[in-house]
C-alpha cells in the first residue's frame, strides 16, 4: 500500500537494546524515522469498544507505536484496506500522508504514541471518507 508519492505504509522495526535493567528502544531523526519530527502526542484511557482517528491528512506523516497494550490500525489508500496489529514497543507503523487511518480494538491500559511530521492543523484533516476516496480517485491526494 503506497501513497501518491510512492511512500508505503509499513511496519518499522525499531530495534531493542536489551539490558537486565530493562529494555530500551530509540527513534532518531535521520536514522530510523522517515521524516523530521514536528509533534508528538499520545492516546490513552480509551474506553472499551472506542476507536480514535477515522481521518486522513493532506500533509502529515506519522509513526504510531503501542507503548503499552495493543490495538489495531486500519489503513486505506483509496482502493485497498489493510489492518496492522501493534503490540510491541520496538515496532512502529509508518503512515504516509494521504492515508485514511483508524485506530481500534484497544486493549485495556493501552497507550498509542504518535509522532507526526507537521504541527497540529485542523485544515490538514480529511474527516469524510467519501471525500477522501474522491480526492484519491482524482489524484488530488
Q: Which residues bind ligand TYD (CB under 6 A)?
A: 39, 41, 52-53, 55, 120
Identify which of residues 14 and 46 has a Cβ nearer to ligand TYD in the complex.
46
Tell the smallest beta-carbon distance from residue 116 to ligand TYD (Å): 7
Radius of gyration of the chain (CA): 15
- Cα 52 versus chain centre, distance: 11
Identify which of residues 42 and 137 has a Cβ nearer to ligand TYD in the complex.
42
Tell the smallest beta-carbon distance from residue 106 to ligand TYD (Å): 11
Tell the smallest beta-carbon distance from residue 17 to ligand TYD (Å): 29
Has 76 been annotated as catalytic? no
CA–CA separation, 72 and 107 (whole Å): 10
Question: Each residue of 66-96: b (16+ CB within 10 Å) or e?
Answer: beebebebbbbbbeeeeebebebbebbbbbb
Active site residues: 55
Amino acid at each position: 500500500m503506497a501513497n501518491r508519492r510512492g511512500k508505503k505504509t509499513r511496519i518499522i522495526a525499531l530495534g531493542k537494546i536489551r539490558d537486565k535493567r530493562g529494555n530500551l528502544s530509540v527513534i532518531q531523526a535521520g536514522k530510523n524515522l522517515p521524516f523530521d519530527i514536528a509533534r508528538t502526542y499520545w492516546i490513552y484511557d480509551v474506553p472499551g469498544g472506542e476507536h480514535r482517528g477515522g481521518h486522513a491528512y493532506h500533509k502529515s506523516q506519522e509513526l504510531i507505536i503501542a507503548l503499552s497494550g495493543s490495538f489495531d490500525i486500519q489503513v486505506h489508500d483509496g482502493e485497498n484496506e489493510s489492518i496492522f496489529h501493534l503490540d510491541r514497543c520496538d515496532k512502529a507503523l509508518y503512515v504516509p500522508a494521504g492515508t485514511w487511518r483508524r485506530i481500534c480494538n484497544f486493549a485495556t491500559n493501552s497507550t498509542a504514541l504518535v509522532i507526526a511530521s507537521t504541527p497540529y492543523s485542523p485544515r490538514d484533516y480529511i474527516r469524510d471518507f467519501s471525500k477522501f476516496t474522491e480526492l484519491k480517485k482524482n489524484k488530488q491526494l
